[in-house]
C-alpha cells in the first residue's frame, strides 16, 4: 500500500498530496510550488481545511 497519493482538497479544491505519517495518520500537504517557502507544507489554511 502506497503511503502517499495526490488529490484535490474537498474544501477548497486546491491540488494537494496526501502523506501517511509514522503515526498512521494521513496529512494533506501543499505542493512546494504553491507555498511561500517553496517546501512541502501542511495544507490547512489556518485550520479551515
Ligand atoms: Zn483546502
Residue-number span of the structural domain to which 9 is assigned: 4-47
> How far apart are the CA of 18 and the centre of ligand 1, in A?
12
Residue 23 confidence (pLDDT) = 95
> How far apart are the CA of 11 and the centre of ligand 1, in A?
5
Cell of 20: 501517511
Residue 1 confidence (pLDDT) = 60
Q: For residues 39 and 26, what is the distance between their CA atoms, to the nearest angstrom?
A: 18
Which residues of the chain register pLDDT less than 50? none
Separation in Å, CA 33 to CA 2, 23, 41: 23, 26, 10
Q: For residues 17 and 45, what is the distance between their CA atoms, to the nearest angstrom?
A: 15
Q: Number of structural domains, the chain? A: 1
Ion ligand 1 residue ranges (Cβ < 5 Å): 9, 11-12, 14, 49
Please give the model's pTM, rounded to 2 decimal places.
0.80
Amino acid at each position: 500500500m502506497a503511503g502517499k497519493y495526490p488529490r484535490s482538497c474537498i474544501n477548497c479544491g486546491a491540488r494537494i498530496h496526501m502523506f501517511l505519517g509514522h503515526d498512521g495518520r494521513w496529512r494533506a500537504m501543499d505542493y512546494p510550488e504553491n507555498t511561500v517557502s517553496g517546501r512541502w507544507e501542511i495544507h490547512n489554511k489556518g485550520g479551515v481545511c
